[in-house]
Structure 1
């Protein structure tokens, strides 16, 4: 196993802005669950958080008309009038909640090359300021530079800095509880 390396997100990069936008918009999904539940007359608690495609847990559905609108995998059928109505309602709810530009964190990391390959180790934690800290057994900064025309998205830090920040965040969570 390789030696562990520690990083934090470099502020004011496009990657940092995309990550912060993700976390700021993330809380809006609670509204989507509520509004979609209301529109369908069902309680929806499990849903893929994607602004363009509605995918739910079909086992939560109780009304026959809604059951007929979804496939077994939770996606909407394409040949159903009810499915088209639900899709339009979902798109409207996404717009109302300001989530049209929402990106999943995994997608953001992939776009910017902040990811691990098979057999590599990468651990991440988020601070209360939406900064990301990484612990990896490979040079994640070098990998992200290849995807971003040489722009460095991460700043290498010491294990002590990483651990101190991690403990500081734990203390904040305990004090807030």
Structure 2
């Protein structure tokens, strides 16, 4: 069953507020976190991720999946006082949920959304932005057609691939992935290079 655009924006707002609830989160992590959440949510709720990507205009970008719509939503949440930014003019636009944002959005989180977002936030808080991009790009559980589409315009692709072992070691050491997932990532990267 398709999701309405209003329900989708409400879901995204809840995700943004939750992801930035504990600490400052830069716009790149917010983008990748929302992307990952929407993909997982599409599986859990049985709607087509491609439809969501189209509705939210999530497109390949030099630094990973990016949506002007999600970026604009962050701006709206700042203007309306649901988020604050430590530096509104920064290229990375660090944001954090305000009490108003938490009170307005977090009470509407469904238990499965809360669980999923808490897992994603844990990943985002442990990783640097480039490590998050590597994790999303080469995640063996995201379908190949989705990954290849988002990798198509990446300026970072070759750099990430050439440093794959370093990134995989970081993900392992931070307990984001296990050895089995690391092997699947390596296999994925080999397929991408062919």
Shorter-normalised TM range: 0.3 to 0.5
The structure where helix makes up a greater share of residues is 2
When Rg is computed on C-alpha atoms for both structures, the one with the higher figure is: 1
Tell me the TM-score normalized by structure 2.
0.33
